Amino acid sequence: METINVKINGVDYAVPKGSTVLEAARAAKIEIPTLCYLKDINEIGACRLCLVEVSEGGRPFRLVTACVYPATDGMVVLTNTPRINKSRKTNLELLLSNHDRKCLSCVRSTTCELQKLCLEYGVDEDKFKGVKNEYKIDNSTPIIRDNNKCILCRRCVAACKNMQGIGVIGANDRGFDTHIGSIFEKPLSETSCINCGQCIVACPVGALYERDDTDKVLDAIADPSKHVLICTAPSVRAQIGECFGYEPGTDCEGKMVAALKRLGFDGVYDMNLTADLTIMEEATEFLGRVNNGGALPMITSCSPGWIKYCEHYYPEFTENLSTCKSPQQMFGAMAKTYYAEKKGWDPKDIVFVSAIPCTAKKFEVGRPGQSAAGVPDVDIAITTREVGRMITKVGIDFKSLPDEAFDDPFSVGSSAGAIFGATGGVMEAALRTAAEIIEGKPLEKLEFDAVRGVEGVKVASYKLGGINLNVAVASGTANAKKVLDAVKSGELDVQFIEIMACPGGCVNGGGQPIQPASVRMTTDLRAVRAAVLYNDDKNSDLRKSHENSAVKKLYDEYLGEPNSHKAHEILHTHYVKRGL
């Protein structure tokens, strides 16, 4: 790696050639504050918080924005002078002059990047008094926009357009009236927003957040007439610790289960079970399409953000979507049919909750075709962040909890189900089962390494028995577009595609704990979070969905066989051609 020499705050450093001043400083472990900056997504120098003084070639020092200014050989950089600190403080005070400062009731209080910087720089929040804009809160979708708290950093705009390739929000009007909104000031519900929530995790303040459903959950738990059950998605256990100060990539499954039990749920279950059930249905559906001339390539249907994206942007591919419900919806469906019958409960008296990494799941619970027992399969979907807030609200000391296990009868889940949370995980789990069905013998190696990793698009080919199987994996809807366009043009010939709406998969979902831009710049959260799931898989004794004894029991006692008529009534759904 070629390097250049820079002097930062009087110390010489060798930094990679091509670095910005911000990258050079952080490589030297020197923190420069930012608000608008998101690495590789939003590098526009708009907030002016990263101002530093630089001198090149012996010329006088001048102020530049570190996030976009290139570091040059021999450059001298100052990051902490009275001039710099005064500029940063003034910029923060100007931001506050048009900001709704209701910090005590804001969902981002203590995790707000603006709040943190204001405290560090000792701002006067009333320095600039005058007219303040007032905006109506858009709560038309599970993603709520409050422009009264927006600082116009445009990180949400960049996440939606540059990362996801959607672009349903942008800067409207000009000057003091500039605000973030949709075309013609339409509410989000009237756009092709897919509810992925990547705008939320990009936002440095409280201008974007998910609809909070925690009070609904707590009210249901307090109702003695209700049976309140919860299942947790694989990636939640890999991220919930971040809500309580653990480093990203810490597996907190046991403490998470213990906390949920102390909240008062009547059953705490592992969604890995229905991830396995999904594989049984999906792999069987795929082989049926291959053998009977069904619509190919078949595309996975676990990600509701991706499903809505397909319905809006590629409605011609809805026939290619697997008809399987997502693991979340399958769990609720089985709880309100099979389990309700076993317990003698009226499905109307069951409140089924899912803990998920995804804001789009809040939209999914209200979709048509998701009511196997005549009532919604899932009543309430709460994000990892909401789970964390709920645990804190009732006074549970998460770190002091012992590790506890999921409840029976839904406690058995394979590690194939666990890796659903990482991009490529659904494909790998399906391949393990499909390969053994086709070849009629156990696989010698269970890892399908070519579909692993955080790359946006992965393509692989496998020979399974007499079938040459070409597969593709995409995460992030911008990458989904690349894959689908290549399929349409004939450039890509594949039979099976996995798509996740969020880059990196569920571990990087829009409902996961929010990490500041400084962490996102230096840590690949997708990789460290996914490592928890792959480590679980590596150390598991049960690594194949079709070997899950609990799944076998569901088929033996209730469903009959994968893709049976009864299975279709309970576990499958349909889609809508929405268009733009």
Cα 93 from Cα 125, distance rounded (Å): 6
Cα 485 from Cα 497, distance rounded (Å): 13
Q: Which CATH number, 3.30.1490.190, 3.10.20.740, 3.40.50.920, 3.30.413.10, labels domain 3-80?
A: 3.10.20.740
Angle at the Cα of 303 from the Cα atoms of 298 and 306, rounded to 5 degrees: 75
> What CATH number should be reported for the domain whose range is 215-571?
3.40.50.1780
State how beta strands 350-356 and 380-383 pair. Answer: parallel
Q: Which CATH number, 3.40.1160.10, 3.30.70.20, 3.20.20.80, 3.40.50.720, labels domain 103-210?
A: 3.30.70.20
Contacts 24+ apart (CB under 8 A), 22-31: 22/50, 22/66, 22/67, 23/71, 24/71, 24/77, 25/52, 25/66, 25/77, 25/79, 26/518, 26/521, 26/522, 30/79, 31/518
Strand, helix or coil for residue 529: helix
Cβ count within 10 A of residue 65 = 23
Strand, helix or coil for residue 371: coil
272, amino acid identity: N
Whether the Cβ atoms of residue 498 and residue 465 lie closer than 8 Å to each other: no
Cα 327 from Cα 197, distance rounded (Å): 19
Give start-end residues of each CATH 3.30.70.20 domain in the chain.
103-210
The predicted pLDDT at position 464 comes to 83
Give start-end residues of each CATH 3.40.50.1780 domain in the chain.
215-571
The predicted pLDDT at position 409 comes to 80
The predicted pLDDT at position 1 comes to 82
Strand, helix or coil for residue 95: helix
The predicted pLDDT at position 430 comes to 93
Distances (CA, A) of 126 to 82, 88, 101: 21, 16, 10
Cα 12 from Cα 326, distance rounded (Å): 54
Give start-end residues of each CATH 3.10.20.740 domain in the chain.
3-80
Strand, helix or coil for residue 325: coil
Q: What single string gives the DSSP state of each residue in 138-165?
A: B-SSSEEE-GGG-----HHHHIIIIITS
- pLDDT tens, position by position, for the chain (580 residues)? 899 999 999 999 999 999 999 999 999 999 999 999 999 999 999 999 999 999 999 999 999 999 999 999 999 999 999 999 999 999 999 999 999 999 999 999 999 999 999 999 999 988 998 899 999 999 999 999 999 999 999 999 999 999 999 999 999 999 999 999 999 999 999 999 999 999 999 999 999 999 999 999 999 999 999 999 999 999 999 999 999 999 999 999 999 999 999 999 999 999 999 999 999 999 999 999 998 999 999 999 999 999 999 999 999 999 999 999 999 999 999 999 999 999 999 999 999 999 999 999 999 999 999 999 999 999 999 999 999 999 999 999 999 999 999 998 888 889 999 999 999 999 999 999 999 988 889 998 999 999 999 999 999 999 888 788 999 999 999 999 999 999 999 999 999 999 999 999 999 999 999 999 989 988 999 999 999 999 999 999 999 999 999 999 999 999 999 999 999 999 999 999 997 7
Cα 13 from Cα 165, distance rounded (Å): 37
Cβ count within 10 A of residue 254 = 15
pTM here is 0.95
Cα 448 from Cα 350, distance rounded (Å): 39
The predicted pLDDT at position 130 comes to 87
DSSP tag of 297? S
The rounded radius of gyration (Å) of the Cα atoms in the chain is 25
The predicted pLDDT at position 540 comes to 92
Structure tokens at 281: 């249905």
The predicted pLDDT at position 411 comes to 82
User: Longest C-alpha distance within the chain, in Å?
Assistant: 83
The predicted pLDDT at position 184 comes to 95
DSSP tag of 376? -
Structure tokens at 149: 């708290």
Cα 527 from Cα 151, distance rounded (Å): 30
Cα 21 from Cα 8, distance rounded (Å): 10
DSSP tag of 407? P
